[in-house]
Amino acid sequence: MKREELRLYLVTDSDLCLGRSLEEVVCEAVKGGVTMVQLREKSASTRTFVELAQRLKPVCKAAGVPLIINDRLDVALVVDADGVHIGQSDMPYEVARRILGPDKIIGLSVENFDDLERANALDVDYVGISPVYGTPTKTDTAEPFGLEGLRRAVELSIHPTVAIGGMNASTVGDVVAVGTDGVAVVSAICSAPSPRTASQELLGVINEHLCER
């Protein structure tokens, strides 16, 4: 995985797509410059999850954007996704690596500094620092890191980092400025009137702050 692929990381939520299909939203988002896509479906049946992944795969492939599956290794295997993203309550990392092999991307959420230390002992491809801010799209998250916490986390991490949690066009700049490789967003793209324009705007802000640091 290239570090740059974390720059603008779309994490999906079908329920936040304002009635548009996930495929349509992702298609617009990659046109707008999203660099990685994570399919996250916490309530869908396995069948639906697989079908969504199968529909997103050609969209991402055509755009040269990695498709990452949240939690479900079996779904990732079935569609031959580029990798999985696992949280602290998902499959243990070592197990995920054994099942997926050395070439797939595996990202791991860290919710505090203990998680981060443990992640440093693993050969994960990236860590998702979560949450930076409070967020309406996940209600079961840990205490936010805040900008200062994020800065320390980025310094401590030996892995590429992506920040997630409550970010939008007015906050991504600060987040990139503290040194993360990228930002992951859900509603800022999924619920935008134009996912394409929203992605372009977010990427514009991110790139600007990357140049400055």
CB of 25 to its own copies, least distance (A): 23
What lies within 8 Å, CB to CB, of 196 at 6+ separation is 28, 29, 31, 32
Could you tell me which stretch among 39-47, 123-131, 193-201, 202-210 binds its own copies (CB under 8 A)? 39-47
Question: In whole angstroms, how close is the CB of 203 to its own copies at the nearest point?
Answer: 32
Query: Contact between 99 and its own copies (CB under 8 A)?
Result: yes
- Residue from 88, 112, 141, 200 touching its own copies (CB under 8 A): that is 88
| Single residue of 50, 153, 154, 202 touching its own copies by CB under 8 A | 50
Pick the piece of the chain touching its own copies (CB under 8 A) from 71-79, 130-138, 148-156, 166-174. 71-79
**Does 131 sit behind a cis peptide bond, omega within 30 degrees of 0 on the bond before it?**
yes
Query: According to the binding rule CB under 8 A, does residue 46 interact with its own copies?
Result: yes
The backbone torsions φ and ψ at residue 115, rounded to the nearest 5 degrees and listed phi first, read: -55, -40
Coil vs helix vs strand at 68 = strand
CB-neighbour burial class of residue 94 (10 A; exposed 0-12, middle 13-18, buried 19+): exposed
Is position 142 an interface residue for its own copies (rule: CB under 8 A)?
A: no
Catalytically active residues are 40, 109, 138
Q: Which of 23, 55, 57, 90 binds its own copies (CB under 8 A)?
A: 90
Asked whether 71 and 85 are in contact (CB, 8 A), the reply is yes
Could you tell me the end-to-end alpha-carbon distance of the chain, in angstroms, rounded to an integer? 23
Nearest C-alpha neighbor of 66 from the set 89, 43, 37:
37
CB 5 within 8 A of CB 36: yes
Nearer to its own copies, 23 or 90 (CB): 90
Judge whether 7 and 206 are in contact, CB under 8 Å: yes
Contact residue for its own copies among 5, 28, 71, 201 (CB under 8 A): 71
204 token code pair: 């514009």
Of positions 72, 85, 104, 159, contacts its own copies by CB under 8 A: 72
Q: Decide whether 22 or 91 has the Cβ nearer to its own copies.
A: 91
Binding residues vs its own copies (CB under 8 A): 45-48, 50, 71-74, 77-78, 86, 88-92, 95, 99
